[in-house]
Amino acid sequence: MTMTKVLVGNVKDIDIKGSRKLQMAGTEIAIFRLTSGEVLAVENKCPHKGGALSEGMVCGSKVHCPLHDSRIDLHSGNVLAPDTGHVKTYEVEVDPASGQIYLTI
C-alpha cells in the first residue's frame, strides 16, 4: 500500500481544543488541535455508536464521544476503560514555518 502525504489545511484555521473534519478516500477524518498546539487526526467515527468525534469535547489528548461520553486517546486511537475499542489514527505533520498541516494517508 502506498502512503501519500496530503496538504489538508493550516493550523491557524483550527481553534485550540477545536477540530475540523474532511473526507479522504471515502473516510471522514477529524483533525484536532490540542491545548499544547499539537495536531492529531483520527477517523471521525466512534466505534460504539458511530458518533462524530469532531463534535466531542477535547480534554488533554482525549476526545469524548458526543453520543455516550466514551473517551478516546487521540495519540493511539484506543478507547479508554471501562469501554473498549479503537479508531484509526493518521500521521500528521505541521510545517513550523507556514503552519500547513499534512496528513499521511
The CATH number that applies at residue 94 is 2.102.10.10
Which of helix, strand or coil describes residue 62? Answer: strand
pLDDT at position 25 is 82
Mean pLDDT of all residues in the chain? 95
Q: How many domains does the chain have?
A: 1
Which cell numbers in the block locate residue 4? Answer: 501519500
> Mean pLDDT throughout 25-38?
95
Distance CA 50, CA 84 (A): 14
pTM (predicted TM-score): 0.93
Residues 39-75 have pLDDT tens digits of: 999 999 999 889 999 999 999 999 999 998 899 999 9
> What is the span of the domain harbouring residue 38?
5-104
Residue 60: count of CB within 10 angstroms of its CB: 12
Which of helix, strand or coil describes residue 18? Answer: strand
CA angle, corner 67, sides to 69 and 40, nearest 5?
65
Distance CA 105, CA 36 (A): 24
Sheet holding 57-59, edge to edge: 57-59, 62-64, 71-73
